[in-house]
Chains A and B, each alone.
Chain A
Amino acid sequence: MLPLIGILIVIAGFALRFNPLVVVAVAAIATGVAAGHATVDVISAFGKAFIDSRSVPVVWLALPVIGLLERTGLKERARTVIAGIRVATTGRLLLAYLALRQITASLGLTSLGGHPQMVRPLIAPMAEAAAETRWGELPDHTRNRVKANAAAVDNIGLFFGEDIFIAIGSILLIRGFLDQNGIHVEPTSLALWAVPTAICAFVIHGTRLLLLDRSLRAEIARGGAGSSLASVTQDDHTR
């Protein structure tokens, strides 16, 4: 039971809003110590685990070029493009990206999306611009809601598209696990059984995206007075 202390530390630390990086590091070391290993061995195992996971943050390599393009006006250009498309609303735009992300991920093209490469420089500014074209300058909390939705679409499209591709990590993991248990399955049949969930994901989240337009409109109508108040307090902060 003692090794579960790591889970407790994580839940308590996140709930109490301590810095997550610190919480997770403490939980990792506590888990090792609680499992009865010597401190030096725990630090070694922790160091090795961290070094072995160095490929996880590889997307950050896109930052120099993305930053350079932002400085040259990439976000502004993305806004202009969307503002020129009359039928584009935030919900419809994100629905189109959801479909694109699911379809490309299901073909194994998972690197066609991602938050640093696609969402920050392109999808989020486009989603904001679609709302601004209709309703003018957005109050801060509405703008943040649009951005959060742009990030969420990238995740949902990826998760419920990629499993239809036969050579993706999760399918390989399932096969590997079942092989160890003496059961052989075909990757194509596993991929086939990801299709019903993919359709459900598109219908459920797609519906929510179309409802998002209405909800944003209501929010802006309601917040007419409130938003100018918000911008006053915002100014106070910057001073």
Chain B
Amino acid sequence: MITLEFVNVLMGLMMAGIAIVNLRDRTYKKRYNNAAFWGLYAVTFLAGSYLPNVVNGLLVIAMVSIVAVGKLGAAPPEQATRAEREVSAARWGNRLFIPALTIPAVALLGTFTLKGFSVNGVPLVDPKQVTLISLGLATVAALIVGVIMLRPPPSAPMIEARRLMDAVSWAAVLPQMLAALGAMFALAGVGPIVAGILERWIPLDTTFAVVATYTIGMALFTSIMGNAFAAFPVMTAAIGLPLIVHRFGGNVVTMAAVGMLSGFCGTLVTPMAANFNIVPAALLELPDQNAVIKVQIPTALMLLAANTAIMYLFVFR
């Protein structure tokens, strides 16, 4: 059976390749720092499932220390000049889109079809992880299509992956680090403590106050945790169910659905939701790491107001 370990091995191999390209780049100042950072990250993918947890913890601390003490180097320059790329673009035309679109096409195909296959009664692919494994397979398929079509030098894909990865730099690891922080918050019982504070300080005796506290609280708590999924159980157990549904007789479906969407408004405004907000800023090489958040703030605020209105108007019907 293909499990998530397949994706981990792919990630580990790619990170190891990026570390090696860095190490071999003699003109690059921070090559040892970058190589060590991506090399350690590769170890967490390749060996993480077999190492004791405390060793994994120390590996991550070592990665963070490299960033804190030695700093990582910036993205290396592009290998092909703009003129070369223009010529190549004219030569290949719209065929260049084929490998790029292979990723979503194969990912979708895999998600829909792979569930059905089994060998001797054992499913071919872990049914719970079909989407992620399909995405992993899709990237491999797209790379194969790209290499067959374009016939680049064998080292080109890894050198280009390294260029992009070093452009994103430490931000590539931030979403995973935040997920780990969320797990530590859960371990320490942070959620219930915050909900307790909210309940104690806000007067909740009118239906509007309750609805607004719930929607705004979802958005605020999501922006602290970086994730509406972490905020939902806490806020709904503290305010949604006991007050909106049980005391004021609101509709549980409307409360829950619109409550979650209020949380998503919080996701739009917080650097804690790094994979949506900070990572794209790095990936698009924007000088301001909060540039994407700044664009999203007006929409998030208006949409939060809209959500509050929708819930207030419909939840008590």
CB of A120 within 8 A of CB of B283, answer yes
CB neighbours (8 Å) of B252 from chain A are 178, 183, 185
Interface segment among B26-34, B92-100, B116-124, B202-210: the answer is: B92-100
A220 part of interface (Cβ distance < 8 Å): no
Q: How far is the CB of B39 from chain A (nearest CB, A)?
A: 16
A35-B187, A120-B283 given; A76·B56 CB < 8 A: no
CB neighbours (8 Å) of A56 from chain B are 175-176, 179, 275
CB neighbours (8 Å) of B44 from chain A are 50-51, 54
In the complex, which of the residues A22, A71, A177 has the most CB atoms of chain B within 10 Å of its own CB atom? A71
CB of B176 within 8 A of CB of A57, answer yes
CB of A19 within 8 A of CB of B67, answer yes
CB of A60 within 8 A of CB of B165, answer yes
CB of A69 within 8 A of CB of B278, answer no
Interface segment among A129-137, A148-156, A224-232: the answer is: A148-156
B1 part of interface (Cβ distance < 8 Å): no
CB of B193 within 8 A of CB of A4, answer yes
CB of B302 within 8 A of CB of A204, answer yes
Interface string of A183-218 (1 = CB under 8 A from B): 101100111111011001100110010000000000
CA distance A45 to B146 in the complex (A): 41
A12 part of interface (Cβ distance < 8 Å): no
In the complex, which of the residues B55, B170, B256 has the most CB atoms of chain A within 10 Å of its own CB atom? B256
A50-B57, A56-B175, A74-B100 given; A174·B156 CB < 8 A: no
A6-B190, A151-B284 given; A72·B85 CB < 8 A: yes
Select which of B111, B170, B310 is within 8 A of A21 by beta carbon: B170
Binding site of B, secondary structure by majority: helix, strand, loop or mixed?
helix
CB neighbours (8 Å) of B261 from chain A are 159-160, 163, 194, 197
A142 part of interface (Cβ distance < 8 Å): no
A16 part of interface (Cβ distance < 8 Å): no
B24 part of interface (Cβ distance < 8 Å): no
CA distance A35 to B240 in the complex (A): 27
CA distance A103 to B181 in the complex (A): 33
CB of B11 within 8 A of CB of A60, answer yes
**A36-83 residues at the B interface, CB under 8 angstroms:** 37, 40, 42-77, 80-81
CB of B276 within 8 A of CB of A155, answer yes
A96 part of interface (Cβ distance < 8 Å): no
A3 part of interface (Cβ distance < 8 Å): yes
CA distance A58 to B131 in the complex (A): 11
A27 part of interface (Cβ distance < 8 Å): yes
CA distance A74 to B93 in the complex (A): 9
CB of A43 within 8 A of CB of B268, answer no
CB of A72 within 8 A of CB of B88, answer yes
CB of A119 within 8 A of CB of B280, answer yes
A92 part of interface (Cβ distance < 8 Å): no
CB neighbours (8 Å) of B219 from chain A are none
B2 part of interface (Cβ distance < 8 Å): no
CB neighbours (8 Å) of B253 from chain A are 185-186, 189-190, 193
Could you say which interface size class chain A belongs to? Answer: 35 or more
Interface string of B186-213 (1 = CB under 8 A from A): 0111100110000000000000000000
CA distance A185 to B110 in the complex (A): 30
CB of A25 within 8 A of CB of B99, answer no
Could you say which interface size class chain B belongs to? Answer: 35 or more
A122 part of interface (Cβ distance < 8 Å): yes
CB of B103 within 8 A of CB of A65, answer yes
CB of B241 within 8 A of CB of A116, answer no
CB of B184 within 8 A of CB of A46, answer yes
CA distance A53 to B292 in the complex (A): 24
In the complex, which of the residues A20, A191, A193, A208 has the most CB atoms of chain B within 10 Å of its own CB atom? A193
In the complex, which of the residues A35, A61, A115, A144 has the most CB atoms of chain B within 10 Å of its own CB atom? A61
**B61-91 residues at the A interface, CB under 8 angstroms:** 61, 64, 67-68, 78-80, 82, 85-90
Q: How far is the CB of B166 from chain A (nearest CB, A)?
A: 11
Q: How far is the CB of B101 from chain A (nearest CB, A)?
A: 9
Q: How far is the CB of B275 from chain A (nearest CB, A)?
A: 7
CB neighbours (8 Å) of B129 from chain A are 55
CB of A181 within 8 A of CB of B268, answer no
CB neighbours (8 Å) of B114 from chain A are none
CB of A148 within 8 A of CB of B295, answer yes
Q: Which residue of B lies closest to A74 (CB)?
A: B96
A24 part of interface (Cβ distance < 8 Å): yes
A55-B132, A119-B280, A173-B232 given; A156·B299 CB < 8 A: yes
Could you list 9 further interchain pairs (A-B, Cβ under 8 angstroms) beyond the known A6-B184, A28-B184, A155-B280? A35-B187, A48-B53, A73-B85, A76-B86, A111-B134, A112-B108, A147-B284, A163-B257, A196-B310
Residues of B within 8 A of A (CB): 4, 7-8, 10-11, 14, 44-45, 48-49, 52-61, 64, 67-68, 78-80, 82, 85-90, 92-94, 96-97, 99-100, 103-104, 107-108, 111, 129, 131-132, 134-136, 138-140, 142-143, 145-147, 150, 152, 156-161, 163-165, 168, 170-185, 187-190, 193-194, 224, 228-229, 232-233, 236-237, 241, 252-254, 256-258, 260-261, 264, 267-268, 271-272, 274-281, 283-284, 286-288, 291-292, 294-296, 298-299, 302-303, 306-307, 310, 314
